[in-house]
């Protein structure tokens, strides 16, 4: 009788143990939809890339990936939203150089400290384009045109202190001309006004710009990379166009808030890299004027570190004013 009572007690304890174990189990990641936060308005390079990445990644992860635009503050509003999110892998940032530059100029976030690097994805130059009505066909003609109208010619950017703004200011300084900056709340809005002829010039991401060039709605003058783009081989580099030594490029990757567990990073990073390494992905990126650059979390962290050093030095050496 005592033995029977002990058996019943042990069975009860085993049941409690099993229940507690089941209660404490962590669901397999991902177990619900993931959000890609794009810190800029729809229509720009980061937005285009986020939507491109979301489709195959949602299929391989078995969960829907929702692309959500949170523009404003030169990318800081969307960036801060991700930083303040739970580090559970369900709110991620598609960003890169734009957030890096804004972290320097606005001093609100630390790109190295406030994000969890997940994967490096792509590298892209900037494409200098003008409205077809502007009577210039190359950088030399642009320089002469602007010099004849000091302080009158305007150019657009995705926002004050964005990577495109800094790239254009550096180019303006290298060309030795005066221009007026018109900041927008995202690359999509800026490009729309350039296409409409409201603003004649922009130095923009090829991801949102190349389709407009191919449609004849914008005229390309030069590309900021060291070599010409595969997709627009007829467009010279800025350096080839007479501004010797000029070179700048941007990166995009996937980042999370601080403290994302290593097991979640290890689940996401290979997926991003696998998708970027696909031949069809390489072809798509190159058609858009970008280059695939799949990289580990460690490689993304190193790119952030080295680019931060370069941009800080650049801003010090040029005394560039961003407000």
Residue that has been written with the tokens 């700048």 in this structure: 248
- Check residue 10 and give its pLDDT: 45
Phi first, then psi: what are they for 182, rounded to 5°? -120, 100
Structure tokens at 209: 């710009």
20 vs 288: which has the higher pLDDT: 288
What percent of the residues of the chain are helix, what percent strand, and what percent coil, each to the nearest 5? 45, 20, 35
223-229 average pLDDT score:
90
225-248 average pLDDT score:
91
* pTM across the whole model: 0.74
Residue 323: pLDDT band with limits 50, 70, 90: low
Percent of the chain, pLDDT > 90? 59
Q: What is the pLDDT of residues 279-289, one digit of tens each?
A: 999 999 988 78
Nearest to 67 by CA among 56, 82, 51, 52: 51
Residue 320: pLDDT band with limits 50, 70, 90: low
* Residues paired with 96 in a beta bridge: 252
Cα separation, 223 vs 239, in Å, equals 9
Phi first, then psi: what are they for 153, rounded to 5°? -80, 135
Q: What is the DSSP string of 244-296?
A: TT---EEEEEEEE-TT--HHHHHHHHHHHHHHHTSHHHHHHHHHTT-EEEEE-
Residue that has been written with the tokens 């003008």 in this structure: 130
pLDDT beyond 60 at 199: yes
Q: What is the pLDDT of residues 98-117, one digit of tens each?
A: 888 878 877 778 888 999 99
Nearest to 138 by CA among 150, 129, 148, 147: 129
- Check residue 121 and give its pLDDT: 97
Q: Could you tell me if 39 and 159 are in contact, meaning their C-beta atoms sit under 8 angstroms apart? A: no
* Residues paired with 204 in a beta bridge: 127
- Check residue 322 and give its pLDDT: 60
Residue that has been written with the tokens 């300084």 in this structure: 173
152 vs 160: which has the higher pLDDT: 152
Q: Is the peptide bond before 298 cis (omega within 30 degrees of 0)?
A: no
């Amino acid at each position: 009788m005592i033995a029977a009572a002990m058996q019943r007690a042990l069975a009860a304890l085993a049941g409690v143990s099993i229940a507690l174990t089941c209660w404490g189990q962590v669901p397999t990641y991902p177990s619900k939809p993931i959000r890609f936060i794009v810190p800029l308005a729809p229509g720009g390079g980061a937005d285009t890339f986020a939507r491109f990445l979301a489709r195959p990644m949602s299929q391989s992860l078995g969960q829907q990936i929702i692309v959500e635009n949170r523009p404003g503050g030169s990318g800081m509003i969307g960036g801060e939203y991700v930083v303040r999110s739970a580090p559970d892998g369900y709110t991620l940032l598609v960003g890169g150089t734009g957030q890096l530059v804004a972290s320097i100029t606005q001093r609100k976030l630390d790109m190295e400290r406030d994000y969890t690097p997940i994967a490096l994805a792509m590298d892209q130059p900037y494409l200098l384009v003008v409205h077809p009505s502007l009577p210039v066909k190359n950088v030399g003609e642009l320089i002469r045109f602007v010099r004849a109208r000091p302080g009158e010619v305007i150019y657009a950017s995705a926002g004050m202190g964005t990577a495109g703004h800094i790239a254009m200011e550096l180019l303006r300084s290298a060309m030795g001309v005066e221009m007026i900056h018109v900041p927008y709340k995202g690359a999509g809005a800026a490009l729309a006004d350039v296409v409409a002829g409201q603003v004649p010039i922009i130095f923009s991401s090829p991801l949102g710009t190349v389709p407009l060039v191919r449609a004849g709605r914008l005229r390309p003058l030069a590309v900021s990379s060291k070599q010409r783009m595969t997709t627009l081989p007829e467009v010279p580099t800025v350096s080839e166009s007479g501004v010797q030594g000029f070179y700048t490029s941007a990166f995009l990757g996937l980042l999370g808030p601080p403290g994302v567990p290593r097991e979640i990073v290890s689940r996401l990073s290979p997926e991003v890299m696998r998708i970027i390494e696909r031949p069809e992905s390489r072809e798509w990126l190159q058609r858009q004027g970008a280059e695939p650059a799949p990289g580990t979390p460690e490689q993304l962290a190193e790119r952030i570190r080295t680019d931060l050093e370069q941009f800080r030095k650049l801003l010090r050496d040029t005394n560039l004013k961003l407000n």
